[in-house]
Amino acid sequence: MSNTLHVPTMAEFVAKGEKPEILFWVGCAGSFDDRAKKITKAFVQILNKANVSFAVLGSEEGCTGDPAKRAGNEFLFQMQAMTNIEVLDGYEVQRIVTHCPHCFNTIANEYPLLGGNYEVMHHTKFLKTLMEEGRLKVEGGKFKGKRITFHDPCYLGRANGEYEAPRDLLKKLEVELVEMRRCKSNALCCGAGGAQMFKEAEPGNKEINIERTEEAAGTEAEIIATGCPFCNTMMTDGVKGIKREGDMQVLDIVEMIANAEDL
Amino acid sequence: MQFIPNILFIIALVAGVGFFIRNSKKIIRNIKLGKKVDVSNNKKQRWNNTIRIALGQSKMVVRPIPGILHIFVYVGFIIINIEMLEIVIDGVFGTHRVLSFMGGFYDVLIASFEILALLVIVGVALFWTRRNIVHIKRFVMKEMKGWPKLDANLILYIEFVLMVLFLLMNATDYQLQLKGAEGYHVAGKFPISGMIAPWFENMSISSLIIFERSAWWLHILGVLVFLNYLYYSKHLHIILAFPNVYYGSVDPKGKFPILESVKKEVEMMMDPNADPFAAPAEDQGEEDSKFGASDVMDLTQAQLLNAYTCTECGRCTSVCPANITGKKLSPRKIMMDTRDRLEEVGKNIDANNGEFKPDDKQLLDDYISREELWACTTCNACVEACPVSINPMSIIMSMRQYLVLEESAAPAELNVAMSNIENNQAPWPYNQMDRLNWRDEK
Ligand code: SF4
Ligand code: SF4
């Protein structure tokens, strides 16, 4: 990993009288969660390498309101949304890329209902576009031939019908992609959605992330690839829960692309 | 005297259809207790969905075995209903196989009805086995005990009996045609009942006629009874699946609707020019002042239509991550509870001259517990799985909104996360000013 990341803010762009190509929406997990911050950095590395002109909002970014909305707090959600829309519109933002499917879904689908209209992309889709435009080269390297399974995040897959972009990227990495029985539109949730991330689960006989991680382990994959910081946390905990942290890893696709060339 | 059967038939027909219309009106009235929904957008997509999902059964075949069996029964029932037209005309006018003037085409029709009837019998028998012998998990869960189980079996029994009567009627009719009985002119081809017709070879013409008439009458009366059974049964889906799919969402599944009443308040709060002391507009009406849903009247008409349409198949519950891991939540139960409560409210209205009298009960707590509501991950698996475009999650969401906005009754940990969002713009207790710290961390 190269150490110097170039991460300009929107405010800095405006001060220079310029506009970036895209706004990178980092999200709460991407900003504060130690594991997710690594995904954020991996994505920035790639943006830097592909010479994408981008900016972040930094301290002007606030929670999209997704967990509040799914918890039933429509009031708080709309307050968050309105505040963010004001900031985004203030900067005349048009294109947004994020590595969090929850932020993606909320801004793309629900902000328009409150007057915020942007072109929003999940990072896997954006990376695929970069690749197709020849701005980014994705190839096997370190992951070539490795047995990998992809866990579909609910808010990317079922919620928005995006199943192919992440798989296309994995193919470019020349991995051996093995699907779980429940995949794509039938994928099983990791257990984090609907604000479950922030509370204990209701009484039952198993944790959802354990059920899902066991299924992933059943494919004998070395790596569980995913595209959501919350899935990442749940699956990482799941791998620990079934005591497989020695031989199984959970990685975001963008981390795989960033790391493919190292070693 | 000679017209007595015709008159009896007309009475049965009018009574059967009349009772059905009466109950249908009740269903419509009950659904209208919910809030109006706007389905004027995306008409083309809606028709498309209706044709593909309701008529074309596209979601049923996701699970191939029950999917194909269901298509047997479904196509069988729809097509054989064409035969009902002839039965009604024959019944009213005392004719015999009035449509047989179509000649060769009539033969083809009758022959295909017979083959379909056999397929229905096969389908129904296998469905019965799946429910009662194989014990497929989604059919034996808690919420399926009692009436739902009996209902499912009754439907299968009735369909079985109707098809058998249909074939017996044809077999004896055919035998009478062969014997040249008066009033039984030769009409139709009978590939299936022709095989059982020899059983009746030695019967006298008069007993054959009694047999044939009995089968004919029992069949048509059975159909009328079945029509009226729908109202009490999950079998309503054979009609409601169509409007239900049309009314279903045409948006990405992740797009949850906005609460307009909240939007108005938030706009007021965010608008620096708004007069904070202005009285709320009077014309907003009472209903608007409640956020979310604690009872069926707070739900939308689409959600209530969903409840009546549910086939209790349990495909939703069998893919629900909460249910799979032993939580109380079952999306199918959410739909069944909503229908049960709606029925209860409907009966209350019937008993009180068209006015609902508060009964100290509601959908929340009396039917659906908070524990169920909080177990949902909003993963949309239930929505994806439902063969008739029902959205159990949307009812869960409406009820959560009530819990949070009206009762502030979210689980404590969620309250912590929400107050973090409110105060420092993230669900965790970090300062918004530190959002970019990762840039400089090693
Ligand atoms: S959305 Fe909720 S109810 Fe539906 S399957 Fe997912 S967890 Fe279960
Ligand atoms: S909601 Fe749909 S999937 Fe669930 S039981 Fe009813 S019909 Fe079946």
Whether B316 is in the pocket of ligand 2, judged by its Cβ within 6 Å, is yes
Which of B334, B372, B374, B378, when mutated, tests ligand 1's pocket best, judged by the most ligand atoms within 8 Å of its CB? Answer: B378
Residue B382 CA to ligand 1 centre (angstroms): 5
Which amino acid does the sequence have at B186? V
Predicted local confidence at residue A263, as pLDDT: 40
Chain B: closest CA distance from residue A145 (Å): 31
Ligand showing the shortest atom-to-Cα distance for residue A159: 1
Whether B197 is in the pocket of ligand 1, judged by its Cβ within 6 Å, is no
Residue B269 pLDDT > 90: no
pLDDT tens profile A93-151: 999 999 999 999 999 999 999 999 999 999 999 999 999 999 998 887 889 899 999 99
Which is it for strands A54-55 and A22-25: parallel, antiparallel or unpaired?
Answer: parallel
Same fold across B4-23+63-235 and B260-425 = no
Whether B381 is in the pocket of ligand 1, judged by its Cβ within 6 Å, is yes
Residue B260 pLDDT > 70: yes
Nearest residue (by CA) to ligand 2, atom 6, is: B310
Predicted local confidence at residue B185, as pLDDT: 86
| A&B contacts, CB < 8 Å | 216
Residue B279 pLDDT > 90: no
**How sure is the predictor about B274, in pLDDT bands with cuts at 50, 70 and 90?**
low
Whether B310 is in the pocket of ligand 1, judged by its Cβ within 6 Å, is no
Q: For A185, which residue in chain B has the nearest alpha carbon?
A: B384
Whether B373 is in the pocket of ligand 1, judged by its Cβ within 6 Å, is no
pLDDT tens profile B182-192: 888 888 889 99
Reported pTM: 0.92
Per the model's pLDDT, the better-predicted residue between B92 and A176 turns out to be A176
- Mean pLDDT (chain B) is 90
Apex CA B377: angle with CA A24 and CA A246, to 5°?
Answer: 75
A170-174, B4-8, B276-280 — which is least confidently predicted?
B276-280
Residue B196 CA to ligand 1 centre (angstroms): 50
B176-190, B222-236, B268-282 — which is least confidently predicted?
B268-282
- Best-predicted range by mean pLDDT (A216-225, B98-107, B218-227): A216-225
ipTM: 0.94
Which of B237, B305, B311, when mutated, tests ligand 2's pocket best, judged by the most ligand atoms within 8 Å of its CB? Answer: B311
Chain A: closest CA distance from residue B226 (Å): 35
Per the model's pLDDT, the better-predicted residue between B248 and B274 turns out to be B248
- Over residues A237-253, the mean pLDDT reads 95
State the Cα–Cα distance between residues B382 and A194, nearest whole angstrom. 14
pLDDT tens profile A149-207: 999 999 999 999 999 999 999 999 999 999 999 999 999 999 999 889 999 999 999 99
Q: CB–CB of A68 and B421 under 8 A?
A: yes
Whether B187 is in the pocket of ligand 1, judged by its Cβ within 6 Å, is no
Residue B392 CA to ligand 2 centre (angstroms): 8
Determine contact: B207 vs chain A, CB below 8 A: no
Q: For domain B4-23+63-235, is the CATH number 1.20.950? A: yes
Residue B266 CA to ligand 2 centre (angstroms): 36
Residue A51 pLDDT > 60: yes
Q: CB–CB of B439 and A7 under 8 A?
A: yes
Q: CB–CB of A186 and B319 under 8 A?
A: yes
CATH 3.40.50.1860 residue ranges for chain A:
10-131
Q: Which of A180, A202, A207, A230 to mutate to test the interface with B (most CBs of B within 10 A)?
A: A202
Fold of B260-425: Fumarate Reductase Iron-sulfur Protein; Chain B, domain 2 (1.10.1060)
pLDDT tens profile B153-164: 999 999 999 999
Residue B10 pLDDT > 60: yes
Predicted local confidence at residue B178, as pLDDT: 87
CA atoms B330, A212, A29, A135: torsion sign: negative
User: How many percent of chain B have pLDDT more than 70?
Assistant: 96
- Over residues A252-258, the mean pLDDT reads 94
A109-123, B270-284, B366-380 — which is least confidently predicted?
B270-284
3-state secondary structure chain B: CCCHHHHHHHHHHHHHHHHHHHHHHHHHHHHCCCECCCCCCCHHHHHHHHHHHHHCCCCHHHCHHHHHHHHHHHHHHHHHHHHHHHHHHHHHHCCCCHHHHHCHHHHHHHHHHHHHHHHHHHHHHHHHHHHHCCCCHHHCCHHHCCHHHHHHHHHHHHHHHHHHHHHHHHHHHHHHHHCCCCCCCCCCCCCCHHHHHHHHCCCCHHHHHHHHHHHHHHHHHHHHHHHHHHHHCHHHHHHHHHHHHHHCCCCCCCCCCCCHHHHHHHHHHHCCCCCCCCCCCHHHCCHHHCCCCCCHHHCEHHHHHHHHHCCCCCHHHHHCHHHHCCCCCCHHHHHHHHHHHHHHHHHHHHHCCCCCCCCCCCHHHHCECHHHHHCCCCCCHHHHHCCCCCCHHHHHHHHHHHHHHHHCCCCHHHHHHHHHHHHHCCCCCCCHHHCCHHHCCC
Residue B144 pLDDT > 50: yes
Q: CB–CB of B418 and A71 under 8 A?
A: yes
User: Per-domain residue ranges for chain B?
Assistant: 4-23+63-235, 260-425
Distance from CA of residue B209 to its chain's centroid?
40
Determine contact: B381 vs chain A, CB below 8 A: yes
Predicted local confidence at residue B5, as pLDDT: 80
pLDDT tens profile B298-356: 999 999 999 999 999 999 999 999 999 999 999 999 999 999 999 999 999 999 998 99
**How sure is the predictor about B276, in pLDDT bands with cuts at 50, 70 and 90?**
low
Which amino acid does the sequence have at B208? L
- Over residues B411-423, the mean pLDDT reads 95
Nearest residue (by CA) to ligand 2, atom 2, is: B386
For domain A10-131, which CATH number applies: 3.40.50.1100, 3.40.50.300, 3.40.50.261, 3.40.50.1860?
A: 3.40.50.1860
Q: For B255, which residue in chain A has the nearest alpha carbon?
A: A109
Q: For domain A138-260, is the CATH number 3.40.50? A: yes
Predicted local confidence at residue A97, as pLDDT: 98
User: How many percent of chain B have pLDDT more than 90?
Assistant: 64
- Over residues B387-399, the mean pLDDT reads 97
User: How many percent of chain A have pLDDT more than 90?
Assistant: 91
Residue A57 pLDDT > 60: yes
